[in-house]
Amino acid sequence: MIQTFELFHSAFFMIGAIFGSFLNVVIWRFPRGESIISPPSHCSSCNKQIAPYDNIPLFSWLILQGKCRHCKTKISSRYFIVEFITGILTLFLVITYGLTPEFYINLIFVYMLIAITYIDYDHYIIPNEFILLGIFILIFAHLFNWLPIENMDGLYGGIAFGGFLYFIGKIGLLILKKESMGFGDVKLGLMLGGLIGLKLSVLALFLSFLISAIFTLIGISLFKMKTKGEIPFGPFMAAATVVIFLTRTPGGGNSILNWYFTTMF
Ligand SMILES: [Zn+2]
């Protein structure tokens, strides 16, 4: 019994890693306006097409020790990291949700958030296509009641999450005289709020700022990270949302909120 259980789960890790491999292609090509379907993957240095046996998620990067088979140019560890993160989050989601409609919806959003994180980090943009796809999926999810929240709660969540960031951005513009919160973050908040509802949107906002503060402090003190005054906020919103996905309790509750309300009141 134990063995089939583990086999079942490790399969989801590998399936996730395969999607991670696809996300790597999306992260590189989409913001550059290249097709994500063709041409097949090739080395960015010597341009040689990558053979299927050198394109196995996780393993190929390890076997080739992070170098191109032909020209030995270094292949970024990011390829491995994205595949690993996608695999492990797929595994955690299936453990948390089982094979429910909510699992599939959250899985799609997690995959989008991984791509958004790296694209925002590289280019300081959150592509509108991702937001539109997300909203399209949300409309269906709400229509068929696949989410544990009321339709109106999704609307309030979106307004609260996106609206708060819009408000922060306006204040930042007044005080700092420059853009501190991009409109991409506002649109991302709108989408994520529609997915998690009002209560969890408040938690997501709190966690986004908390994670960004911790990350920035550690980065500056330990790694002498230089802030150009411009740190993309999308990745922190993505991290906060993933934390919320993974701390779900039955009936649409959340263990962080449960803990907070039992400890504080
Ligand atoms: Zn090469």
38-47 pLDDT per residue, tens:
888 889 889 9
The residues, ordered by sequence, that sit 6+ positions from 101 with a Cβ below 8 Å of its Cβ are 141, 144, 146
**Same domain, residue pair 115 and 222:** yes
Which pLDDT score is estimated for 229?
61
End residue of a domain, out of 53, 72, 98: 98
pLDDT 10s digits, 251-264: 778 999 989 988 88
49 C-alpha vs ligand 1 centroid, how far in Å? 9
**Same domain, residue pair 54 and 161:** no
**Same domain, residue pair 71 and 119:** no
**Same domain, residue pair 91 and 132:** no
**Same domain, residue pair 193 and 80:** no
**Same domain, residue pair 114 and 234:** yes
pLDDT-derived band at 1 (thresholds 50, 70, 90) equals: very low
76 C-alpha vs ligand 1 centroid, how far in Å? 12
Contact 185/235 with Cβ under 8 angstroms? no
**pLDDT over 80 at 246, yes or no:** yes
17 C-alpha vs ligand 1 centroid, how far in Å? 23
42 C-alpha vs ligand 1 centroid, how far in Å? 8
| Segments of 74-212 assigned E as strands | none
**Same domain, residue pair 150 and 93:** no
pLDDT 10s digits, 141-200: 999 999 989 999 999 999 999 999 999 999 988 888 877 778 899 999 999 999 999 999
47 C-alpha vs ligand 1 centroid, how far in Å? 6
71 C-alpha vs ligand 1 centroid, how far in Å? 4
Copy the structure tokens of residue 264: 């504080």
44 C-alpha vs ligand 1 centroid, how far in Å? 7
74 C-alpha vs ligand 1 centroid, how far in Å? 8
Phi, psi of 231 (to 5 degrees): -115, 120
Copy the structure tokens of residue 17: 């890693």
Residue 133 burial (10 A CB sphere; 0-12, 13-18, 19+): middle
Fill in the DSSP letter of residue 43. Answer: -
Which pLDDT score is estimated for 231?
78
29 C-alpha vs ligand 1 centroid, how far in Å? 18
Which pLDDT score is estimated for 228?
60
55 C-alpha vs ligand 1 centroid, how far in Å? 13
77 C-alpha vs ligand 1 centroid, how far in Å? 15
**Same domain, residue pair 41 and 171:** no
Domain of 142 in residue numbering reads as 100-265
For residues 86 and 259, give the distance between their C-alpha atoms in angstroms, rounded to a whole number. Answer: 28
End residue of a domain, out of 98, 120, 153: 98
pLDDT 10s digits, 13-56: 999 999 999 999 999 999 999 998 888 888 988 999 999 999 99
Q: How many domains does the chain have?
A: 2
**Same domain, residue pair 16 and 55:** yes
For residues 85 and 110, give the distance between their C-alpha atoms in angstroms, rounded to a whole number. Answer: 10
75 C-alpha vs ligand 1 centroid, how far in Å? 9
**Same domain, residue pair 118 and 242:** yes
Distances in Å between the Cα of 225 and the Cα atoms of 19, 77, 104, 123, 221 are: 31, 19, 37, 18, 8
**Same domain, residue pair 77 and 135:** no
26 C-alpha vs ligand 1 centroid, how far in Å? 20
50 C-alpha vs ligand 1 centroid, how far in Å? 9
pLDDT 10s digits, 66-103: 999 999 999 999 999 999 999 999 999 999 999 999 99
169 C-alpha vs ligand 1 centroid, how far in Å? 43
173 C-alpha vs ligand 1 centroid, how far in Å? 45
End residue of a domain, out of 98, 119, 142: 98
Phi, psi of 77 (to 5 degrees): -65, -15
**Same domain, residue pair 191 and 146:** yes
pLDDT 10s digits, 195-242: 999 999 999 999 999 999 999 888 888 877 766 667 789 999 999 999
Cβ neighbours of 97 (radius 10 Å): 18
